[in-house]
Amino acid sequence: MDKWMDSPWFIRAIALVLAILLFTSVNNELSGSNRDIGFAQNSDQETVQGVPVEIYYDTSNLVVYGAPKKVDVTISGPKSIVQNTKAVRDFSVYLDLRNAKIGTQRVKLKTKDLSTKLNAKINPAYVDVSVQEKVSVNYKVEPEFNQHLLADGYEAKTPSVDPQTVTITGGKDVISQISYVKASIDLDGEINSSFTRDAEVQVLDKNLNKLDVNVEPDTVQITVPVDNPSKTVPITVNPVGQESSNIAIKSITTTPKTIKIYGRSDVLKDIDALPVNVDISKITKSQDISVPLSPPDGVNKLSEGTVTVHVETEDKAEHKTFSNLSIDTEGLPSTDTVQFITPPNGKIDLTASGKSGDVQNLSSSDFQVFVDLSGLDPGDHTVNVEVKGPNKVDWKVSTQSVKVTLKDNQQSSNT
């Protein structure tokens, strides 16, 4: 051995072997590194979102709850295959419950039709599902709508539903939770007429949570009769104020005598008449007055907007009669004379009316009774009797007109 170590050729041989081994080792490492880099450059990873989940189970007799409708799948592998698979989405995710037992269980999600060159990671990978016996029941639908939307004075009668019942299908445990089956109508604005609407059927538990069931049909037609009730009542007059001192009111009546009022039934039942206020302090004689009508609280409409009030009065003032008052003439030309035909004596009676104090102090001299003959030609004429008297009293003469004959004295004298 010592001889070999002392030999230069032995040392050279050993060095050559070591060099060969070193070269081989370095070359292998470089080749492996290049392969890894090449693989890394040709691989990819993408997440396909919202992949539908198919469920395989006995649909005739069972119902499954808790399974997600969609999941996200992360795929990795050769870049070209990953990108193509993401674009085409030619694979599916499923739950196999064909051999599942009734009850709650954890099941693994699986992929189908995915390339064998790809790896897949489903999120979530497992789900807890409830497998229940399938049950179908019939329920009556309860219609509802917001009655606060009814216009003032309107009321809704009992709604009708078509069809009245629906068939609800679901898991036995879920069906047992049903407390309400409702169809709610969504409306905008005030309601003042009958209407028909389609409404979606909602199946709720006792806490008004919507239950996951199948409803057939899932919509119903609801008809709501809306009415504005009416009632015919008499119109009554309510005099307000005090009568004038000169007249007395004999009667007050109305046209029409009755009126139709509109409002909710609970309001109408307590209304027996429609009162109308009439201010009698402004009544000075028999007259007709148009009075606007106001609906009482809770009444939204009246058949008439106004009522005609007939007021009959009589004079309650003191009367005083002056007899045989001479009728004066005015406007008679100085050349003419007048002769009264009726009344032949040229006198009439005058009756004054007014407050006692004013009437009692009157005398015949307080009145001037006359006829105006201005512009009249000779001959017979009928002229109106005119009176001038105190402002505070009224008067009435026994005749409103007289018949006179005018004569032209100058013409008679020439003749």
> Mapped to the 3 state alphabet, what secondary structure does 55-76 carry?
EECCCCCEEEECCCCEEEEEEE
Assign residue 112 the CATH number of its domain. 2.170.120.30
Last residue of a domain, one of 163, 196, 227: 227
Residue ending a domain, among 132, 150, 169, is 132
Both 323 and 410 in one domain: the answer is yes
Question: Does the residue 34 lie in any domain?
Answer: no
Give the domain range for residue 348: 318-414
Q: Tens of pLDDT along the chain (415 residues)?
A: 555 555 666 667 776 777 677 666 545 544 444 444 444 457 899 999 999 999 999 989 999 999 999 999 999 999 999 999 999 999 999 999 998 889 999 999 999 999 999 999 999 999 999 999 999 999 999 999 888 888 888 999 999 999 999 999 999 999 999 999 999 988 878 888 999 999 999 999 999 999 999 999 999 999 999 999 999 999 999 999 888 776 788 899 999 999 999 999 999 999 999 999 999 888 888 899 999 999 998 899 999 999 999 999 876 768 899 999 999 999 988 888 999 999 999 999 999 988 777 888 899 999 999 999 999 999 999 999 999 999 988 999 999 999 999 998 776 555 4
Tell me the pTM.
0.54
Compute the Cα dihedral for 327, 332, 335, 337 and give only its sign.
negative
CATH number at residue 165: 2.170.120.40
**Helix/strand/coil for 156:** strand
Considering the domain architecture, whether residues 333 and 408 belong to the same structural domain is answered as yes
Residues 328 and 367 in one domain: yes
Q: Which residues contact 226 (CB under 8 A, 6 or more apart)?
A: 150, 154, 155, 156, 157, 191, 192, 193, 194, 195
Co-location of 198 and 181 in the same domain: yes
Tokens of 329: 């003439």
- Is 409 found in the same domain as 327? yes
Q: Are residues 213 and 236 in the same domain?
A: no
Residue 32 is inside which H or E element, if any? helix 8-42
Q: What pLDDT is attached to residue 284?
A: 83
223 shares its domain with 284: no
pLDDT of residue 33: 43
In a domain, 25, yes or no: no
Report pLDDT for 244. Answer: 78
Inside any domain, residue 182: yes
* Inside any domain, residue 305: yes
- Whether residue 389 lies inside any domain: the answer is yes
Residues 151, 176, single domain; the answer is yes
pLDDT of residue 24: 66
155 lies in the same domain as 107? no
Last residue of a domain, one of 256, 284, 315: 315
Is 376 contained in some domain?
A: yes
* 360/400 same-domain check: yes
Provide the pLDDT for residue 8. 65
Q: Is residue 13 part of a domain?
A: no
Kindly list the distances between the CA atom of residue 76 and the CA atoms of 111, 226, 286, in Å, as whole numbers in the listed order.
14, 65, 106
128, 188: one domain: no
Total domains in the chain come to: 4
**244 and 186 in a common domain:** no
> Is residue 8 in a domain?
no
